[in-house]
């Protein structure tokens, strides 16, 4: 009757065991009967098939002893004969009962004894003696029986650890958001500071009001577009990129949209840059006018002196032509006129230094007179005509040069305006993530297409350089290319953020570590290697991850996720695991996780925090949670995290 109940009611398979064998006291067959009962009620509860159950139990042991010195579980025999594996499992779930670091790793008997003593202290049933394990090849079935007792005793701890994992992810996200906020503020300040420094340099009035001094100041202002502005654009782009990442991250994690610090808004960065560009253009124009006025003053002063000398010469010439009277009288007059001419030549000598100064400034061609024209009255008309001809030729050449400069600047300004228009288009992109991504890809193509046209500026600019006219060109082809590169980089960063947000919104935000763990368990229990799992194989996977479920539950799970199917492929498996273990983070799940760690209390102690979190996370939580009697109130902090 007993064996009939075991085989028919409990479905235990007995091979070669009959009632007469038990009555006759056959030790071998009696022990086989006992092992079959243990295997059914203690081990196969973990999974359906015996071999799959052992693998699941072995995987659970490996996972929970990973990282322990001297422990490498690969089987249920030699991996346990040092006693360290038992000690590691106890320390993993009850560190206060057994200190793993204090063990003598070479004393197997002592380690087994300590492990089994700790089991008895916890109320965990011990089937074995230390001598059955230490330094020998232990009986596999005995070890499996003992380890299964560990699994049933500690299985609940794995669930709390999973809740702690979820809470750690919540903390990590919040710390990441806080860091992005801090980075944006720092980057925005850096961009505004650079703009302020550039503006101070542009508007600084501390310079000599001479032609060289004004020209030097004008060069410094022109350098803004070539040197300071690309750096400012990069700083601003970095800040806007960080802001975009912050907004995307907050949306993807159900956080309230961030509010930028006063004075550091993205719009402020754009308006400040536009104002700086306007100031630079205004300052450049005013300095150009001032330079022309200073140059004209020098030329006018020189021409006035030359004109006065010319009048003296004309007067002497007229007096020479008007000579009359006695010869002696004319001689006296000539002597007097010679003295006057000698005095006039002294005036001419005094003009040499001012004229040399005009030559050094390349302004002598703008003067109406020259030293030669004044030095020789005979060559006056010819020299004057030559000088006027030279003057006209120089002015024509200058007009031609300025026309080339203006033509280049018109093309360069048009390209710079294109970058500003494109930047505005980028900032104006809105809609859902898919629409924004399509719009940004179109803008990226437009940036590339328009940037290709910058090459047409190279030849005109090189011609300006050959004639030393590049100082009149605010933008170089390289500086304009830099603006397009910055736009392209900004677009790529925004697209990357949107792609991450799209993936998260579809429920597939999963770390590489999680994906690796899921893939490992899937491959291990896919026994026929057909890339699918049946119900008992799925049950083994869940067991390896510390979850307990029945064959019927696994059958229902597979049917649910495959629309009534009987097998589950890897993609469906990942979707199921994400639903089961990586629930969308929200206020309820975060509160539930805190309550699990706090053992269903509204107050979590510092000891409980340190048990599940890194020292850095603990210190961070202590600054965020409200201190109360017995620990910290977590509910108020959780309320502030979610919109």
Q: What is the DSSP string of 168-188?
A: HHHHHHHHHHHHHHHHHHHHH
Q: Which residues contact 94 (CB under 8 A, 6 or more apart)?
A: 118, 122
**Percent of the chain at pLDDT exceeding 90:** 26
45 exposure class (CB count in 10 Å sphere: 0-12, 13-18, 19+): middle
Tell me if 80 sits within 8 A of 569, measured CB to CB.
no
Q: Is the pLDDT of residue 154 over 50?
A: yes
pLDDT of residue 38: 52
Which DSSP letter does residue 227 get? I
pLDDT of residue 497: 64
Angle at which helices 266-321 and 327-350 cross, to 10°: 170
Average pLDDT, stretch 312-322? 74
pLDDT of residue 107: 95
Nearest to 486 by CA among 413, 414, 422, 442: 422
Tell me if 239 sits within 8 A of 188, measured CB to CB.
yes
468/186 Cα distance (integer angstroms)? 41
Average pLDDT, stretch 192-210? 88
| Paired tokens of 231 | 């750096």
pLDDT of residue 26: 55
Buried b (16+ CB within 10 A) or exposed e, 567-598: ebbeebbbebbbeebbeebeeebbbebbbbbb
Q: Is the pLDDT of residue 383 over 50?
A: no
Into which CATH architecture does domain 512-641 fall?
Orthogonal Bundle (1.10)
Q: Which residues contact 417 (CB under 8 A, 6 or more apart)?
A: none
Q: Is the pLDDT of residue 378 over 70?
A: no
Q: Is the pLDDT of residue 382 over 50?
A: no
Position 392 confidence tier, pLDDT thresholds 50, 70, 90: very low
Secondary structure class of 532 (helix, strand, coil): strand
Q: Is the pLDDT of residue 515 over 70?
A: no
Residue-range domain boundaries for the chain = 1-43, 378-506, 512-641
The per-residue pLDDT of the chain, averaged, comes to 81
**Kind of pairing, strands 532-533 and 568-569?**
antiparallel
Q: Is the pLDDT of residue 581 over 70?
A: no
77 exposure class (CB count in 10 Å sphere: 0-12, 13-18, 19+): middle
Position 362 confidence tier, pLDDT thresholds 50, 70, 90: confident
570/44 Cα distance (integer angstroms)? 25
Q: How far apart, in Å, are the Cα atoms of 11 and each of 8, 18, 173?
A: 5, 16, 50
160/143 Cα distance (integer angstroms)? 26
Q: Is the pLDDT of residue 468 over 50?
A: yes
Average pLDDT, stretch 283-290? 87
Average pLDDT, stretch 222-243? 90
Q: Is the pLDDT of residue 158 over 70?
A: no
User: Count of H helices and E strands in the chain?
Assistant: 25, 5
264/185 Cα distance (integer angstroms)? 7
Higher pLDDT, 10 or 141: 141
| Domain 378-506 in this protein, CATH class | mainly alpha
156/588 Cα distance (integer angstroms)? 21
Q: Is the pLDDT of residue 580 over 90?
A: no
Q: Is the pLDDT of residue 639 over 80?
A: yes
pTM score, two decimals?
A: 0.42
* Cα torsion through 593, 596, 599, 600, rounded to 10: 70
Listed range (325-334, 406-415, 437-446, 605-614) with the worst mean pLDDT: 325-334
Q: Is the pLDDT of residue 457 over 90?
A: no
Would you say how long the chain is, in residues? 643
Nearest to 602 by CA among 635, 639, 636: 635
**Kind of pairing, strands 568-569 and 626-628?**
unpaired
Tell me if 564 sits within 8 A of 526, measured CB to CB.
no
32/285 Cα distance (integer angstroms)? 102
Q: Which residues contact 215 (CB under 8 A, 6 or more apart)?
A: 291
Listed range (258-262, 337-341, 417-421) with the worst mean pLDDT: 337-341
Average pLDDT, stretch 140-151? 91
pLDDT tens digits along 2-21: 655 556 555 555 555 667 66
Q: Is the pLDDT of residue 447 over 80?
A: yes
**Percent of the chain at pLDDT exceeding 70:** 81
Position 500 confidence tier, pLDDT thresholds 50, 70, 90: very low
Q: Which residues contact 581 (CB under 8 A, 6 or more apart)?
A: 162, 514, 545
Average pLDDT, stretch 340-345? 74
∠124-608-592 over CA atoms, to 5°?
95
DSSP per-residue codes, 584-641 = PP-HHHHHHHHHHHTTS-SEE-HHHHHHHS-HHHHHHHHHHSEEETTEEE-HHHHHHH
Listed range (66-80, 199-213, 396-410, 491-505) with the worst mean pLDDT: 491-505
Which DSSP letter does residue 603 get? E
Average pLDDT, stretch 130-152? 91
């Amino acid at each position: 009757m007993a064996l009939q109940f075991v085989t028919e009611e409990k479905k235990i398979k007995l091979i070669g065991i009959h009632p007469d064998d038990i009555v006759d006291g056959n030790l071998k067959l009696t022990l086989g009967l006992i092992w079959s009962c243990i295997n059914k009620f203690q081990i196969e509860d973990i999974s359906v098939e015996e071999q799959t159950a052992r693998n699941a139990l072995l995987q659970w042991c490996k996972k929970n002893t990973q990282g322990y010195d001297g422990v490498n579980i690969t089987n249920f025999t030699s991996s346990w004969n040092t006693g360290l594996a038992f000690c590691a499992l106890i320390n993993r779930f009850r560190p206060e009962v057994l200190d793993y670091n204090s063990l003598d790793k070479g004393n197997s008997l002592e380690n087994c004894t300590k492990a089994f003593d700790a089991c008895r202290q916890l109320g965990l049933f011990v089937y074995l003696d230390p001598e059955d394990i230490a330094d020998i090849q232990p009986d596999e079935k005995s070890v499996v029986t003992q380890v299964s007792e560990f699994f049933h005793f500690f299985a609940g701890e794995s669930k709390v650890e999973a809740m702690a994992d979820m809470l750690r992810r919540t903390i990590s996200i919040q710390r990441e958001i806080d860091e992005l906020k801090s980075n944006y503020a720092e980057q925005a300040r850096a961009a505004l500071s650079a703009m302020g420094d550039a503006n101070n340099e542009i508007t600084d009035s501390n310079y000599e009001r001479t032609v060289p001094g004004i020209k030097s100041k004008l060069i410094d202002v022109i350098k803004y577009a070539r040197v300071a502005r690309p750096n400012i654009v990069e700083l601003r782009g970095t800040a806007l990129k960080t802001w975009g990442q912050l907004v995307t991250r907050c949306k993807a994690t159900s956080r309230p949209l961030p509010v930028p610090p006063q004075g550091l808004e993205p719009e402020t960065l754009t308006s400040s840059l536009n104002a700086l560009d306007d100031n630079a253009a205004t300052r450049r124009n005013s300095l150009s006018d001032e330079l022309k006025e200073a140059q004209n003053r020098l030329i006018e002063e020189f021409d006035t002196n030359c004109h006065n000398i010319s009048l003296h010469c004309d007067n002497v010439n007229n007096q020479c032509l008007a000579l009359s009277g006695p010869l002696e009288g004319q001689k006296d007059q000539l002597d007097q006129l010679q003295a006057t001419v000698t005095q006039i030549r002294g005036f001419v000598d005094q003009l040499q230094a001012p004229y040399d100064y005009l030559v050094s400034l390349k302004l002598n061609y703008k003067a109406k007179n020259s030293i030669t024209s004044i030095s020789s009255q005979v060559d006056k008309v010819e020299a004057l005509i030559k000088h006027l001809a030279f003057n006209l030729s120089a002015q024509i050449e200058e007009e031609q040069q300025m026309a080339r400069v203006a033509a280049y600047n018109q093309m360069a300004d048009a390209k710079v305006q294109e970058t500003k228009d494109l930047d505005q288009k980028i900032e104006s992109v809105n809609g859902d993530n898919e629409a924004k991504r399509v719009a940004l890809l179109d803008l990226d193509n437009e940036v590339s297409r328009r940037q290709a046209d910058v090459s047409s500026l190279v030849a005109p600019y090189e011609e300006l350089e050959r004639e030393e006219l590049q100082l009149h060109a605010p933008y170089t082809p390289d500086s304009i290319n830099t603006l397009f590169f910055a736009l392209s980089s900004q677009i790529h960063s925004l697209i990357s953020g949107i792609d991450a947000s799209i993936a998260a919104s579809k429920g597939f935000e999963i770390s590489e570590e999680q994906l690796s763990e899921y893939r490992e368990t899937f491959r291990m229990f896919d026994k026929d290697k057909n890339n699918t799992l049946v119900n008992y194989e799925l049950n083994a996977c869940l067991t390896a991850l510390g979850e307990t479920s029945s064959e019927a539950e696994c059958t229902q799970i597979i049917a649910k996720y495959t629309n009534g199917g009987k097998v589950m492929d890897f993609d469906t498996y990942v979707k199921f695991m994400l639903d089961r273990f990586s629930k969308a983070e929200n206020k309820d799940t975060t509160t539930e996780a805190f309550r699990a760690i706090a053992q269903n209390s509204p107050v979590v102690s510092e000891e409980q925090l340190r048990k599940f979190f890194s020292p850095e996370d603990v210190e961070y939580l202590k600054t965020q949670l409200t201190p109360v009697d017995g620990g910290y109130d977590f509910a108020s902090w959780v309320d502030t995290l979610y919109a």
